[in-house]
Amino acid sequence: MPSIKLLATTALALVTGLTPAFAEMTEVGASEGQLNIVAWAGYIERGETDKAYDWVTKFEADSGCKVSVKTANTSDEMVALMNEGGFDLVTASGDASLRLIAGKRVQPINTALIPSWSKIDPRLQDASWHTVDGVHYGTPYLWGPNVLMYNTEVFKEPPTSWNVVFEKMDLPDGKSNEGRVQAYDGPIHIADAAQYLMFHKPELKITSPYELNEEQYAAALELLRVQRTLVGRYWHDAFIQMDDFKNEGVVASGSWPIQVGLLQSEKLPIASVIPQEGATGWADTSMLHAEAANPNCAYKWMEHTLASNLQSDLSVWFGGNPVVPAACTDGSGMQTAEGCTANGLDDFDKIRFWTTPVANCSQGEGACVPYYRWVSDYIGVIGGR
């Protein structure tokens, strides 16, 4: 495999006539005047959605870098966009970051050029999803849980288990959950099923929902096939999911805190919870493209993400936790200690962060089911296979 990978990247480098920059930068020079970022929706706000949330305008004025954002809906889309090129930074989740590193689409960063690096939560500084062999491939950006969003008119009490979306049952209003729950339309959702099994079927001996052997993987798919009979439509677009909660009678689904916040701001009866099984989560990293055209602006932005109001305000807006813990309390933005607790700051150890499943895992060489099978099998499950 490595030889094929090498061949592929070499061939690509020849075809595109570009030489990947393997060496990290040693100093931040003058601004190039622009910066292109691939980001999750709601990650980079310039006060256009809501005037109170703006962490771009001031950066543009101070650094002279005009920020352009391309939003992506899934990790796979982010990897695809980075493979195409033309971007400087990507806010990659753990299920994309290792793939980007393996594909040599991102370059190592020099943490000495980011003065605020030391303020980052020590648990994230060397996190395995952006640090390979001691080399850092990005700056942590934000982390948070995948919550269970529910309708408070149906659930007077918050649901205590993910079983409402995994098993056929009657909801507290006496009606079946068939057709009234949703699930994420991305292969990484298999990990949510595995985490549910970790709690309810200890005999499977799952230790990480991202490291599944054949037997554990088959059990997770079996659970997802049951879920298929309950789910009317899977969600991948945050706004279609919100519409389904409004018009389609959907009352419970795995979701992101931002949908919960937006629906609540429309005064709809919506709340969220992290059930007893725990939750999967995302820990996102700003990663620098191997052929970034604007590296100076990119370094300035990475420092800005740690040192400004961004951490505090972003964590309120998106419903995550700042990677600089001080941002919860230092008043740099709107976030408060209570807010961070509500977003799961104290649950860091209960959250299993998205990672790309690979064949060579802690269970042994080639013992685990790799990601490409997750992709094709999840398409199969949604198609009723």
* Separation of alpha carbons 273 and 277, rounded Å: 11
Nearest partner of 109 among 24, 22, 35, judged by Cα: 24
Nearest approach, Cβ of 342 to another protein (angstroms)?
Answer: 30
Residue entry with tokens 């309708």: 151
Instruction: Choose the stretch contacting another protein; rule: CB under 8 A; options: 51-59, 128-136, 270-278, 365-373.
Output: 365-373
Size of the site for another protein (CB under 8 A): 47
Residue entry with tokens 């109170």: 52
Query: What is the CB-side half-sphere exposure of residue 296 using CA atoms within 13 A?
Result: 12
Does residue 103 interact with another protein by CB under 8 A?
yes
* Separation of alpha carbons 160 and 158, rounded Å: 6
* Separation of alpha carbons 227 and 380, rounded Å: 13
* Separation of alpha carbons 299 and 30, rounded Å: 11
Nearest approach, Cβ of 60 to another protein (angstroms)?
Answer: 29
| Beta-bridge partner residues of 247 | none
DSSP 60-77: HHHH--EEEEEEESSHHH
Does residue 358 interact with another protein by CB under 8 A?
yes
* Separation of alpha carbons 190 and 182, rounded Å: 14
Taking residues 31 to 70 in sequence order and writing x for each that binds another protein by CB under 8 A, - otherwise, the string is ----------------------------------------
Does residue 91 interact with another protein by CB under 8 A?
no
Q: Considering beta carbons, is residue 4 or 61 the nearer one to another protein?
A: 4
Does residue 99 interact with another protein by CB under 8 A?
yes
Taking residues 163 to 202 in sequence order and writing x for each that binds another protein by CB under 8 A, - otherwise, the string is ---------------xxx----x-----------------
In residues, how long is the chain?
Answer: 385
Does residue 233 interact with another protein by CB under 8 A?
yes
Contacts to another protein by CB under 8 A = 1, 4-5, 7-9, 11-12, 15, 73-74, 76-77, 79-80, 83, 99, 102-104, 178-180, 185, 231-234, 240, 243, 247-249, 356, 358, 370-372, 375-377, 379-380, 382-385
